[in-house]
Amino acid sequence: MRAVLTGGGTGGHIYPALAIAKGLQERFAGTDILYIGTNRGLEADLVPKAGFPFKAITVAGLERKISLANVKILWQAIRGFQEAKALLKEFRPDVVIGTGGYVCGPVVLAASRLGIPTLIHEQNALPGITNKLLSRVVDQVTVTFEDSRKYFSKGVKVGLTGLPIRPEILQAERHTALNNLQLKDDLLTLLVFGGSRGARRINQAMVDVVREFGNSQSIQVIHATGQTGYDEFIKDCQNKGIDLDKYVNINIKAYLYNMHDALGAADLVVSRAGAATLAELTVLGIPSILIPYPYASENHQEFNARALADRGAAVLVKDKDLTGPLLVKEIRSIINDAERLRNMSLASKRLGRAGALNDIIDCVEKILPRH
């Protein structure tokens, strides 16, 4: 079996594709994978690190208003389509799977023109523009939320599967994770990150959290600043007189390539509310404080966060309200109340869908040629 995966820009599109790639290899022994993305997205870093062959094509996102830049972008899209077609002809996949982001457009379209079976997965309740357009040419659409069915035209085959999660996250286990991270098992672990690119607002609030909990006897902290926010965070700490070297329980990273260990160790998470993150939190039953990114298209992160907050699995803090002292207060009020922490964890677990990856692989199997 030969499969092409495509999806890019942010981790929220890439990790579901990586999960599907691993799921295919588990189901069909000897599966050959090719990942097609762009050199500008996070996929150029994450895909080779995950051990899959990666090829890049030319592509760029359209601006929402008519502009001269869009003429250039349209030209790049045509070039990207030709490049995708050439890669597909060379690799000869049995199936092409897209998980959103601009790069999916030319790759999935080229596959459908070449008569290769195609499937796309939508992570958010509100489908992205690329997936909405592609839904008209693909063999199968799979969605995370029942609610998103209504955004696709009649006649489009839509299957409800949930969001596929990397197998290593599904298998994460606290003791091993703490060991791998060299953390203590008698302390609570707070994990903080702002989606795959980091979040400046969360980093700013974290300066106070680090100061408050530095060398605490009850809690240890892992904070991922995002690749571009690391230096600024360290400088902000220095400016406030915080010497991070003196805090043995505070671990600051630019990016967590070992998220399965970080999530496996976490008793409480502070994060943005991207769909992939929420699927991971709920499948492991981790309580969270969610600060939705307010500029995500049509404010979809707030809808994501509400789905958890309304069911007691998370506390929602609006970005505009976020300050260091408020974050410290929210963290304290949860970690100091063991019963609340346990109830939030149970509520989170109830929302998790561990079978999503398997269900998507079933959908892939159904569109393969021999079926």
Q: Which stretch binds ligand UD1 (CB under 6 A): 54-62, 71-79, 268-276, 363-371?
A: 268-276
Give the Cα separation of 299 and 301 in Å (integer): 6
Q: Minimal distance in Å, beta carbon 196 to ligand UD1?
A: 4
Q: Minimal distance in Å, beta carbon 320 to ligand UD1?
A: 16
10 sits near ligand UD1 (criterion: CB under 6 A): yes
Cβ–Cβ < 8 Å for 170, 354: yes
Q: In this chain, which of 4, 5, 12, 308 binds ligand UD1, going by CB under 6 A?
A: 12
Give the Cα separation of 181 and 298 in Å (integer): 37
Q: Buried b vs exposed e over 26-60: b needs ≥16 C-beta within 10 Å?
A: eebeebbbbbbbbeebbbbebbeebebebbbbbbb
Cβ–Cβ < 8 Å for 8, 14: yes
152 sits near ligand UD1 (criterion: CB under 6 A): no
302 sits near ligand UD1 (criterion: CB under 6 A): no
274 sits near ligand UD1 (criterion: CB under 6 A): yes
Strand, helix or coil for residue 35: strand
Strand, helix or coil for residue 182: coil
**What residues are designated binding site for UDP-N-acetyl-alpha-D-glucosamine?**
10-12, 124, 166, 196, 301
Choose between 93 and 274: whose C-beta lies nearer to ligand UD1: 274
Strand, helix or coil for residue 369: coil
Q: Which stretch binds ligand UD1 (CB under 6 A): 80-88, 190-198, 235-243, 361-369?
A: 190-198
CA-atom Rg of the chain in angstroms = 21
Q: Which stretch binds ligand UD1 (CB under 6 A): 49-57, 194-202, 306-314, 347-355?
A: 194-202
Q: Minimal distance in Å, beta carbon 138 to ligand UD1?
A: 17
Q: In this chain, which of 5, 18, 206, 275 binds ligand UD1, going by CB under 6 A?
A: 275
Cβ–Cβ < 8 Å for 259, 322: no
Q: Which stretch binds ligand UD1 (CB under 6 A): 104-112, 179-187, 271-279, 282-290?
A: 271-279
Q: In this chain, which of 88, 120, 205, 259 binds ligand UD1, going by CB under 6 A?
A: 259
Choose between 116 and 286: whose C-beta lies nearer to ligand UD1: 286
Q: In this chain, which of 148, 277, 345, 348 binds ligand UD1, going by CB under 6 A?
A: 277
Query: How far from 343 is each of 14, 146, 231, CA to CA, in Å?
Result: 31, 26, 37
224 sits near ligand UD1 (criterion: CB under 6 A): yes
Give the Cα separation of 322 and 200 in Å (integer): 11
Cβ–Cβ < 8 Å for 1, 24: yes
Q: Minimal distance in Å, beta carbon 91 to ligand UD1?
A: 25
Give the Cα separation of 324 and 180 in Å (integer): 30
Q: In this chain, which of 6, 203, 282, 301 binds ligand UD1, going by CB under 6 A?
A: 301
- Phi and psi of 252, rounded to 5°? -105, 125
Site residues, ligand UD1 (CB under 6 A): 10-13, 15, 100, 123-124, 193, 195-197, 224, 255-256, 259, 274-277, 280, 293, 296, 300-301
